[in-house]
Amino acid sequence: MRFDLHVPESRSLKTKRRAIRPITDGLRQKFRVSVAEVGCHDQWQRSIIAVAAVSESSAHLDDLLANCERFVYSAPEVEVLDVSTSYLEDPA
C-alpha cells in the first residue's frame, strides 16, 4: 500500500520528518508491518510512504490494510492525497 501525503505546515525537511515519523513508527508498532518513506525525499511538503505485509489469508490482509489506512487518515499533521494498493500472490 502506498500513501501520497501532503504536509501543509512543513517549512523544512526536518519539520516534514517530524510529522511523518509518528505515522511510520505507529504503523510499525501497532500493526507490525514494514514501512518506509519511498518518495519525495527532498520535498518539504510531500512524502510517499509504503506499507508491506504478508498474510496467509486475503481477508486478514484486507482488514490489516484497512486499519493501516484509517491510522494514516487520522494523522493530524498530514493530508492524504492518494492511496494505492497492490498485491502479490503466491503462484503455488
Going residue by residue through the chain, which has 92 residues, state the pLDDT in tens, using 9 for 90 and above: 999 999 999 999 999 999 999 999 999 999 999 999 999 889 999 999 999 999 888 899 999 999 999 999 999 999 999 999 998 877 66
Per-residue confidence (pLDDT) for residue 31, from 0 to 100: 96
Fold of 2-84: Alpha-Beta Plaits (3.30.70)
Q: Where are the beta strands (DSSP E) in the chain?
A: 2-6, 34-39, 46-52, 79-84
Do the Cβ atoms of 48 and 37 come closer than 8 Å? yes
Distance of CA 30 to the CA centre of its chain: 13
Domain boundaries, the chain: 2-84
Per-residue confidence (pLDDT) for residue 92, from 0 to 100: 64
Q: Which residues fall within 8 angstroms of residue 49, CB to CB, at 6 or more apart?
A: 2, 3, 5, 20, 23, 24, 35, 36, 37, 38, 72
